[in-house]
Structure 1
Amino acid sequence: MTLRGRTAVITGAGSGIGRAIASSLAQRGCHLALADVNTEGLAETVSLLPVSGLRVTQHQLDVADRAQVAAFPAIVREAHGGADLLVNNAGVALGGTFEMVSEADFDWLFNINFHGVVSMTRAFLPLLRASTEARLVNISSIFGIVAPAEQVAYAASKFAVRGFSEALRHELDGTTVGVTVVHPGGVRTNIAERARAPEGVDDTEAAQRRAAFKKFLRMPPAKAGEIIVRGIEQRRKRVLVGSDAVGLSLLARLAPVSYWSIMAKGLPK
């Protein structure tokens, strides 16, 4: 897929993987409509981009707000004339066992990680269909392939993104819209620091949980963004980001029921 001169819409573009994807796309001459709830983060992303000759717009957007999402395509059409690429990257994290996580927190995460993807796709699919060649890119996780204990809400949302993306790909087969689902492993973003702690977990324990999780976040975001954008260029249906993602994906194939007993041996108690 040739990206020069195309227009990409990216959610969660104010930091981390979203910012890295924006940078890799800008380097290829792709116009950008960048969205995030954090306007300061968006401004910082734009300040880091090679924007000469590109149309780059910033949009404050909460993907869990369906009214905001429904209004967003018209804003992008007015600013850019259309869209060829939608990257559903916005996401949040929530640790804790199922019994620890409240219903409200579970719904909060799902409204962003899954329903936000669905709402954005529903809103932008008409613009993507109007393109001569378009692609929908949904960021799942390696936890959309394996499901560790104490990641019940997060893993459920990322498995849902995977299932949604694969079924939609089959429905859009033969159209101008392709679908890519991305499964990053441990990418060094701030998702652990921003993760919501379940009710009943004090600040000390929450900090310890975040610190333990951060040890597995090793890949620089810039490298992850480049892997993802290369996958888009190659029209790949699935992109695994990092050797840990590749390894765990293989483990899930070889031991689809018992992989957790193997994984757990390498985790802190």
Structure 2
Amino acid sequence: MKHLCGKTVVITGAAGGLGSALAKALAKEGCHLALIDINQQALTELTEKLQTPALRISYHVVNLCEKTEIDNLPAELMLVHPSIDVIINNAGMTLQKSVESHSMDDWQRVFSLNFWAAVSMCQTLLPFLRQQNSAHIVNLSSMAAFHGLPSQCSYSSSKAALQAYSESLRAELSGDGIGVSCIHPGAIQTNMIMATLDESDDMAQAHKNMVLAQRFGISPQAAAKQIVRGIKRNTRSMTIGVDAKLLKFASTALPRLTANLLARTYSKFIDT
């Protein structure tokens, strides 16, 4: 998909930092947008900023953890958009809790949004993608898919599952003109941690992690620019950020050292 002008793009988690950056970047490309999030106020404000006479921009308030709401999306989307060319499964959440303190409800919440929502979106909208000569799916995984991170077991597991799903999906759709990109960002300067900060095992450390992400993470605008480029090039997998590139290399070339370093780092956190 070398040219995006005139294409219709569906973005989940559109009201968040990366989601809104993607929406703005794609609007500049001349894309029509269907913006999905649970935050109606933020969606309304974003839509008003992006709306132009040349573009069809709609917003849809959806709880992606409820499959019935995803099932109802096609009819709602078709009221505004006659076709769908790109799906970006960007919505996600993380919990900073130990394996022991993760309840089954925690696991279900994280997997519902990070994994099952993406699967349901693809399953529901795939028939519309098949109607196009060229279409694309983007799944936002994470560097956490390369190696399970301490205090983020559900997040790492869900993102690793999304990576494997993306690989299977790309193989199955390769002959149908539908590309699939799996994106592995490192720290991005967004407020994703804030949503569940008060549920963290160690509030002080969680705040430190948030500050580090804001200070050293890549900007959402820079990440969005790379993702848009990946759609155009039908990139199979993309690692964004120095931290993500380092973890990918270390977990592949030096798996034992990586595991030991993460274990030692976690031990220092819980001992302080």
| TM norm structure 1 | 0.93
Residue 53 of structure 1, CA deviation: 1.0
Residue 76 of structure 1, CA deviation: 1.3
Q: CA RMSD in A?
A: 1.8
What does residue range 1-269 of structure 1 map to in structure 2 within 5 Å? 1=1, 2-49=3-50, 51-195=52-196, 197-198=198-199, 201=201, 205-206=202-203, 208-214=204-210, 215-217=212-214, 218-263=217-262, 269=269
Of Structure 1 and Structure 2, the greater helix share is in 2
Aligned counterparts of 1:254 and 1:216: Cα–Cα separation in 2: 25
Residue 256 of structure 1, CA deviation: 3.0
* Post-superposition CA distance 1:127-160 (Å, at most 9, x none): 1111110001000011111211111011011001
Aligned counterparts of 1:140 and 1:44: Cα–Cα separation in 2: 27
Q: Do the aligned partners of 2:166 and 2:180 also contact (CA within 8 Å) in 1?
A: yes
Q: Do the aligned partners of 1:182 and 1:239 also contact (CA within 8 Å) in 2?
A: yes
Residue 52 of structure 1, CA deviation: 4.5
Residue 209 of structure 1, CA deviation: 3.0
Residue 250 of structure 1, CA deviation: 1.2
Q: Do the aligned partners of 1:84 and 1:131 also contact (CA within 8 Å) in 2?
A: yes
List alignment gaps of at least 5 residues for structure 1: none
Q: Do the aligned partners of 1:23 and 1:50 also contact (CA within 8 Å) in 2?
A: no
List alignment gaps of at least 5 residues for structure 2: none
Q: Share of identical aligned residues, percent?
A: 33
Residue 263 of structure 1, CA deviation: 4.5
Residues paired across the two proteins, number: 264
Aligned counterparts of 1:197 and 1:253: Cα–Cα separation in 2: 34
Q: Do the aligned partners of 2:150 and 2:262 also contact (CA within 8 Å) in 1?
A: no
Q: Secondary structure at the match of 2:255?
A: coil
Q: Secondary structure at the match of 2:72?
A: helix
Residue 166 of structure 1, CA deviation: 0.5
Assess, with a 3 A threshold, how the Cα gap between structure 1 residues 264 and 53 changes in structure 2: closer, same or farther. Answer: farther
